[in-house]
Copies of this chain bind each other. A is one copy, B any other.
Amino acid sequence: MSKSIKKIGVMTSGGDSPGMNAAIRSVVRTCAYYHVDCVGIYRGYEGMIEGDFKEMNARSVKGIINKGGTILKSARSKEFRTAEGRKIAYEKLKEQNIDALVVIGGDGSFTGAMIFNQEFGFPVMGIPGTIDNDIFGTTHTLGYDTALNTVVEVIDKIRDTASSHNRLFFVEVMGRDVGHIALNVGVGAGAEEILIPEENLGLDRLLESLRRSKRSGKSSSIVVVAEGDKIGKNVFELKDYVEENMTEYEVRVSVLGHMQRGGSPSCFDRVLASRMGVKAVESLLEGQTNYMVGLLNDKMALTPLDQAIKGQSKIDKELLRVSDIMTT
């Protein structure tokens, strides 16, 4: 074990996601297990620059494993994007004798960590926390599984009212660059059509698909749309377009928005967070740095931060095919 690391800082950064608190708890408890001090850094890089720190022990993380959000709060920091800002941050860490960092967040947070490591040789370890599952080097990011359940339950509710009224619903879910959420909840909620950034179905084929669904006797339809869908119209424009071109349906729109980020984490996310926290601390103590902890083939694995950032999280082709079969 690396003798040089005696105090680890832990922070959350970027958009919050369910499981972040469970990961904080795991980092703190693993530090305690290895008799290493642990410091919570509030509000991400912003709090780091301001020296907004707090010593943490097992008591500090009591009762948070099942809470959404992050007790360390999160923020975006413009100052940390400047060399001056990072210099101040580095000094604040040194003042507190913090030897290494665990950064829980997404792409942007990891980029900051990597640059920080390059500039100061500061040991950093990333834990992927975002509901979008858009990080390379892990099959699951923290919060993704919870978000899938949250969204599927909401669509189940929308289905109640859709099928009571013979309506067509466009339901917009998160996913600017990747369609993981849309594809999985689309299959999971039995959606009639799924629009994701990775595929441009095209307006003609969408209409065709909806007409076929209608002809086959379906009285209601739900189309799941990822935010970043490339069909060329936002979800409200889609509604107008379909209403102009199909008179068979009353069309409604539901934009799920921020509720997708909240809620008590699923068992899967709590366990994943616990595993990732242990792996992150142990990896730092073993002298590893500049990696992201991930889940690959059901095991903990390290991916260099630059690969995690540059690599692409790809949609599962087999699931796309399953989706086609299920929606035909």
Contact = CB atoms under 8 A, between A and B. Distances in A.
Contacts of A161: 15-16, 68-69, 258, 261-262
A33 B328 contact: yes
A200 interface: no
A278 B325 contact: yes
Given A26-B326, A74-B165, A75-B165, A270 B188 contact: yes
Interface in A119-142: 139
Interface residues of A, number: 84
Contacts of A149: 149, 266-268
Given A252-B258, A255-B255, A68 B322 contact: no
Contacts of A328: 29, 32-33
Interface string A291-328: 00000011110000000000000001011011001101
Chain copies in complex: 4
A164 to B, nearest CB: 4
A166 interface: yes
Contacts of A254: 257-259
Interface in A71-89: 73-75
A185 B278 contact: no
A169 B165 CA distance: 31
Interface stretch (A59-67, A92-100, A241-249): A59-67
A139 B298 contact: yes
A152 interface: yes
Contact of A270 (B12, B25, B162, B187): B187
* Interface majority SS (helix, strand, loop, mixed), chain A: helix
Contacts of A266: 148-149, 152, 266
Contacts of A270: 152, 187-189
A297 B296 CA distance: 8
Interface of A: 12, 15-16, 18, 20, 25-26, 29-30, 32-33, 58-59, 63, 65-70, 73-75, 139, 145, 148-154, 156-166, 169, 184-185, 187-190, 216-217, 219, 252-255, 257-259, 261-264, 266-268, 270-271, 274-275, 278, 297-300, 316, 318-319, 321-322, 325-326, 328
